[in-house]
Structure 1
Amino acid sequence: MKIAILGTRGVPNNHGGFEQFAEFFSKYLADKNHEVYVYNSHNHPYQERMWEGVNLLHIYDPEFKMGTVGQFIYDFNCIRDTRKRNFDIILQLGYTSNSIWHWLLPKKSIIITNMDGLEWKRSKYSSLVKSFLRYAEKLAIKSSDYLISDSIGIQDYILKKYKRSSKFIAYGASIFHKQNEDVLAKFNVTKYNYCVIIARLEPENNIETIIEGYHKSAVPYNLIVFGSINSYGKYLKSRYLSDSRICFLGANYNLDELNNLRFFSRYYFHGHSVGGTNPSLLEAMASNALIIANNNIFNEAILGKHAKYFNDSKDIENLLNQDVLFENKENYTKGNIKKIDTLYNWEKINDTYEKYILEQLEKKNKDD
């Protein structure tokens, strides 16, 4: 098949979860001899036209000078470009800034949309933006031929809210085997004597809740925080400047470094609250990390009894001060590794995506 992947800044990943999925899935498809195109921002660090057998289309993206509004123009430019390429399948990752251009999507292509999380619940948005996101969500539901949900919670929401079925396919991860303790020296930490957060620094990821609990705790070891230092990140950095244990290290897309840091950490904090299946959570599970997660249906659907949960900063403070979880690490991590092996490994996830997409293409060809 000839397939386009839209909705990301491009591959190889240097941004986030959808980019990481696009990286793994596009390479998988190319290895299976499909003709794959991934739309990249024109200023993506990787400027070649091919990557691992995947065709890269660098499209003008004014977000670097216009902010969020630039995303809408970038998506418009990408969708307009699809009209001249005769794709069998267009796979849209998310809907936030592309659904308003749905009327421009080529009529002959099959449109499949991964609906992402409940974007309109994000606390960083104003009521006006939240209203728009609900509208954009509705447009994406109406204009897509098929829908994919990356969590059971999202699948249930779409069915209840819009009376539309969607295919549940989570993200994937690979069990981490290449441990290298030498990586820790670069970050001035030692084995099992530090904790980690890896997330976008946004309010709905409960970053401040975690850090506040850490700040009030009596533990001696460091908390290292990975995420781009946006305006909210600057606020957090300033607020906790006096606490030398808390280290803001900016964004890091080196998967080997991050996996080693997860593997050798004492506790890994996962505060995401409004998304579906978060890629960084699966990677933490695959890296044998002992996870303390925000208490919500999305996290619980993945982790079940193989994590400890928090509701507020006091929970974090108490868990750290008691510091008894680490003694029982294996009880938590063994179950998570098994889940990655049986449910969330990349081979299985990519294979499920490919089969599902090919089924829809076969249906269309029969109807034609």
Structure 2
Amino acid sequence: MMQITLLGIRGIPAKHGGFETFAEKLCKHLVSKKWDIVVYCQEEGTGPIYESQWSDIKLIHIPVLGNGALSTIKFDLKATLHSLSHPGIFLTLGYNTAVFNILHRLKNKTNIINMDGIEWRRDKWGLVAKSWFWFNERVGCWVGNHLVADHPKIKDHLATRVKAKKITMIPYGGDEVHGADPALLETYGTEPGKFSVIIARPEPENSFLEMVRAFSRKQRKHKLIVLGNFQPATNAFHKSVMDAASNEVIFPGAIYEAPVVQALRFHARFYLHGHRVGGTNPSLVEALGAGCAVIAHDNKFNRWVAGPDAAYFSTEQDCSKLFDKLLVDDNAVMAMKAASRSRFKENFTWNKILDEYEELLLKQYPSD
């Protein structure tokens, strides 16, 4: 029986983000193909390491105090040390603690590392964090037996570190959404097609201020719903975004109920995506799967994912002009929605992504 150990995530079932969702999908896919799977899970607290079973997957739980970055580093070290006796192949999701994966190489373990985005380029990190991510990206490139890039431009970037043949490009996947309950919109005082939505972490590099300002330049007879955990009392950037908003902008906070988020995507006139850094963004893929008309920041990452039929902006003024034009052009919006679904089906269905991962795992599986 083929055996695989997953590292680098907080655990499954998914509760935290894109990598956890992917891990859950991949594990269920591999279980159906009779793989034996171990996943390490981070737990808050103290006590011994313990095991459980979920959907025929062995979960190894490691308690650590706290839930911040230092706690995750401690968890990753403990998980790495505990995993060294495991047979089969390893899949590490993310390179943030790749320095620990040196131990897998020393133990002659086969470890595939998904290199995620270019974390050290993100504006939100200080010098120490950027240096840590830069160093670990380099180490991950060296010690991983094979690397996965989730975007062609990420593969190009990694190919400046190692030979291109050591890298396989497999993007993130998503579920196609054909419907959502419109009654869930009533909480926000809106209805299908009468609003647009932003779903992202409220950070400067995600263009929140530019998009909110662009929308708020005039009365639109339309609502903009901005999801995210805004803390204006303690975060100056959050305050600047909220201060720039017109009375047509709604800040409902972070929403974790999947049916609500699905309804906000599916029934929105536009999904706005301001990310300036990163590879294949899960939220953008999910927007394509929901058939959203996409307005995105114009960069090489977003253009490859959303394709030529999305609308793109580079400046606040560009974004404002797109609102002026597209809020009154129903035909253009319908064409954009159809293009999103086509793009999704061509590139980002889970069946396609998971089959590509299994093919790579089998190709790299240790022969001894």
TM-score (norm 1): 0.90
Q: 1:160 to 1:325 in 2, by over 3 A?
A: farther
Q: Kindly tell me: are residues 277 and 110 of structure 1, through their superposed partners in 2, closer, same or farther at Cα, counting changes over 3 Å? A: same
Matches within 5 A, 1:332-347: 332-347=336-351
Go from structure 1 to structure 2 and tell me whether the alpha carbon gap of 1:55 and 1:195 turns closer, same or farther (over 3 Å shift). Answer: same
Report if aligned partners of 2:202, 2:238 keep a CA contact under 8 Å in 1. no
CA distance in 1, matches of 2:69, 2:292: 34
What is the correspondence of 1:196-345 to structure 2 with a 5 Å cutoff?
Answer: 196-229=197-230, 234-239=235-240, 240-241=242-243, 243-322=246-325, 323-345=327-349
Q: Secondary structure at the match of 2:160?
A: helix
Length, aligned pairs only? 358
For the Cα contact (< 8 Å) 1:62–1:74, is it kept in 2?
A: no
Once the two structures are superposed, residues 178-206 of structure 1 have per-residue CA deviations (whole angstroms, 9 ceiling, x without a partner) of 33212212333211111111112222222
Contact 2:11–2:40, Cα closer than 8 Å, also in 1: yes
Query: How far did 1:129 drift?
Result: 2.6
Determine the structure 2 residue equivalent to 1:159: 159
Structure 1's unaligned 5+ residue stretches are none
What's the counterpart of residue 73 of structure 2?
72
Q: What's 1:17 paired with? A: 18
Match of 1:126 in 2: 126
**Matched residues in 1 for 2:314 and 2:160: separation?**
26
Aligned with 2:180: secondary structure? coil
Any gaps of 5 or more consecutive residues in structure 2? Answer: none
- 1:14-93 counterparts in 2 under 5 A? 14-43=15-44, 49-64=52-67, 67-84=68-85, 86-93=86-93
- The change in CA–CA distance for 1:63 and 1:144 in structure 2 (over 3 A counts) is farther
- Shift of residue 337, structure 1, vs aligned partner: 1.0
Q: 1:123 to 1:356 in 2, by over 3 A?
A: same
SS in 1 for 2:253: coil
Counterpart residue type for residue 312 of structure 1: T
Residue of structure 1 in register with 2:169 after alignment:
168
Contact 1:195 1:266 in 2 (8 A): yes
Determine if contact 1:305/1:332 at 8 Å carries over to the other structure. no
Deviation of the 1:251 alpha carbon? 2.8
Please tell me the residue identity of whatever aligns with 1:291: V
Look up the SS of the partner of 2:277 in the other structure.
coil
Deviations 1:243-295 (A, max 9, x none): 43333333333333222211110111111221111111111001011110011
Note if contact 1:306-1:333 (Cα within 8 Å) is conserved in structure 2: no
**Maintained 8 Å contact 2:233/2:239:** no
Alpha carbons 1:90, 1:109 under 8 Å: kept: yes
Cα 1:211–1:287 change in 2 (3 A) is same
1:36-91 superposed Cα distances (whole Å, 9 cap, x missing partner): 222222149xx993333322222123342xx322221121111112124x131111
CA RMSD of aligned residues (A): 2.3
**Any idea what SS the aligned residue of 1:195 has?**
strand
Give me the whole-angstrom Cα distance separating, in 1, the residues matched to 2:32 and 2:238: 43
CA 51–230 in structure 1, closer or farther in 2 if over 3 Å, else same? farther
SS at match of 2:216: helix
SS of the equivalent of 1:224 reads: strand
Separation (CA, whole Å) in 1 of partners of 2:76 and 2:213 = 37
- Note closer, same or farther for the CA distance 1:115–1:281 as it changes in structure 2 (3 Å cut): same
SS of equivalent to 1:182: helix
- Following the alignment from structure 2 to structure 1, what is the Cα–Cα distance between the partners of residues 59 and 159? 34
Which residue identity is paired with 1:346?
W
Work out the CA distance in 1 between the residues paired with 2:192 and 2:227.
18
Letter in 2 for 1:224: I
Identity of aligned residues (%): 31
Equivalent in the alignment of 2:3: 2
| 1:217–1:50 CA distance, 2 compared to 1 (3 A) | farther
Whole-Å Cα distance in 2 between the matches of residues 75 and 233 of structure 1?
A: 30
3-state SS in 1 of match to 2:182: coil
**Deviations 1:138-174 (Å, cap 9, x if unpaired)?**
0000110000000000011111343343101011112
Q: Relative to 1, partners in 2 of residues 1:232 and 1:195: Cα closer, same or farther, differing over 3 Å?
A: farther
AA in 2 matched with 1:121: R
Cα distance in 1 for partners of 2:95, 2:255 equals: 25
Between 1:182-191 and 1:167-176, the stretch displaced more is: 182-191
Q: Which amino acid aligns with 2:214?
A: G
Distance 1:293 1:286, change over 3 A: same
Amino acid at match of 2:21: Q
CA contact (8 A) 1:115 1:148 kept: yes
2:140 paired with 1:137: no
Name the TM-score, length of structure 2 as normaliser: 0.90
